[in-house]
Amino acid sequence: MLASTTLPLAETGYYVLPVAVVEENFQQNGLTNANDIRAVRLQKPHTIFGADAVLYLDVNTIRH
């Protein structure tokens, strides 16, 4: 699911970091699961990645 969300965002002009890079950087900063990541202040992703914005996605239903 993560990999399929990056291409549409990139095609609309957003700079999207590779999923593996984001995951590795979060792990290096002690953030190992989605609940931990969402619980941090937004300054943390800015510090780690230099990000001006953060997008969180919730997957509720997978359609076939």
User: Each residue of 31-53: pLDDT tens digit?
Assistant: 999 899 989 998 988 999 998 88
Q: How confident is the model at residue 30 (pLDDT cuts 50, 70, 90)?
A: very high
Q: How confident is the model at residue 29 (pLDDT cuts 50, 70, 90)?
A: very high
Does the predicted model carry a pTM greater than 0.85?
no
Q: Summarize the confidence of residues 48-62 as an average pLDDT.
A: 84
How far is residue 63's CA from residue 32's CA, in Å, rounded to a whole number?
27
> Which is nearest to 15 in space by CA: 54, 43, 58?
54
3-state secondary structure of 42: coil
> Which is nearest to 25 in space by CA: 53, 54, 58, 47?
47
